[in-house]
Amino acid sequence: MTRPAALAGILAAALLAAGCAVEEQGVLPAFGPQTSATEVPALIPRMQAHLERTPRDARGWVILARMHFSIDRFADSALAYERALAVSRKVAQDPQVWCELADALAMAQGGSLRGRPREMIDKALNLKGSHPRALEMAGSAAVEAQDYRRALQYWEPLLAQLAPQTREHAELARAIERLRLRAGTLS
């Protein structure tokens, strides 16, 4: 599974979830998978104004983070995720949000999962060791570190969660086979 392909699917799901109940009587800007990248910059000031009035709105911070991420403002995205995590215990218990923060941090540092992104992935795994995105990202981080055996420890359980006969299952199965070959040559 390639990071861009996995990210695209995950981001689409995240945007759909965010867009389902975003607009509350016109207070929050409507933002979802149908929102084009050209519309997002105009929505951000409205969301920021909302968050100035209600700074403890963790859901609003997550939506703002996703808005920033969708237009490649990764450092701003990471800051908004961190704010959401700081203001809500419920959000801080959501492994998906930790993964999204890890992704924003990684993209802000050129795509590498080393350092703080990896720490955020570990937090997600500590919350839920079987979380699919956390497993995918942890495996990717291990591959980046050339620790192929460790990558297998994350991706093999992830493969078991994927529906057989899907493109995602086939891609991950091929990646696992390549890792097994690489891990075997490291003895």
Written as six digits, the tokens of 37 are: 């990248």
For residues 99 and 74, the answer to whether their CB atoms sit within 8 Å is no
Taking alpha carbons only, the member of 124, 123, 141, 144 closest to residue 132 is 124
Taking alpha carbons only, the member of 146, 143, 167 closest to residue 155 is 143
**Tens-place pLDDT, residues 120-141:** 999 999 999 999 999 999 999 9
For residues 100 and 65, the answer to whether their CB atoms sit within 8 Å is yes
Q: Where are the domains of the chain?
A: 3-184
**Tens-place pLDDT, residues 34-69:** 778 889 999 999 999 999 999 999 999 999 999 999
In angstroms and rounded to an integer, the radius of gyration of the C-alpha atoms of the chain is 17
CATH number of 3-184: 1.25.40.10
Written as six digits, the tokens of 46 are: 């409205």
DSSP single-letter state for residue 160: H
Tell me what the pLDDT averaged over the chain comes to: 87
**Tens-place pLDDT, residues 82-120:** 999 999 999 999 999 999 999 999 999 999 999 999 999
Written as six digits, the tokens of 144 are: 């980046």
Conformational region of residue 128, where left means phi above 0, alpha means psi within -120 to 50, and beta covers everything else: beta
Helix axes 95-108, 132-144, angle to 10 degrees: 30
- CA atoms of 136 and 13, how far apart (whole Å): 15
- CA atoms of 172 and 156, how far apart (whole Å): 9
DSSP helix, strand, coil percent of the chain (3-state; round to 5):
70, 0, 30
